[in-house]
Amino acid sequence: DIVMTQSPDSLAVSLGERATINCRSSQSVLYNSNNKNYLAWYQQKPGQPPKLLIYGASTRESGVPDRFSGSGSGTDFTLTISSLQAEDVAVYYCQQYYSTPFTFGPGTKVDIK
């Protein structure tokens, strides 16, 4: 199984400041034949199901604000919130869908400082 790790476990950022979350996979999730990373980022608020933010490591889902961006390739990935808003308080998960079982990272809780 591919093991997903995230850092930090939690972070508190001032409104309008940048938040950066890191994700690492125990093996590459880059599919060489199409040069696509099978890595997604989700946002989950209390009492709600996860919401897809980023897929293919860097493609923003339709309707997701452009302050959210994803980067990285292979085994190391980053989710960046360029200017934190109050509504971004949530837990963020990375997930690989390269091979089953499609594993998730443990989550990073983002709060307002």
Point out which residues bind other proteins (CB under 8 A): 1, 40, 42, 44, 48-52, 55-56, 61, 93, 95, 97, 100-107
The strand pair at 36-37 and 68-73 is best described as unpaired
Nearer to other proteins, 16 or 101 (CB): 101
Q: How far is the CB of 108 from other proteins (least distance, A)?
A: 11
Q: Please identify, using beta-carbon distances, which residue of 17 and 27 lies nearer to other proteins.
A: 27
Beta strand 39-44 pairing with 51-55: antiparallel
Cβ atoms within 10 Å, residue 92: 25
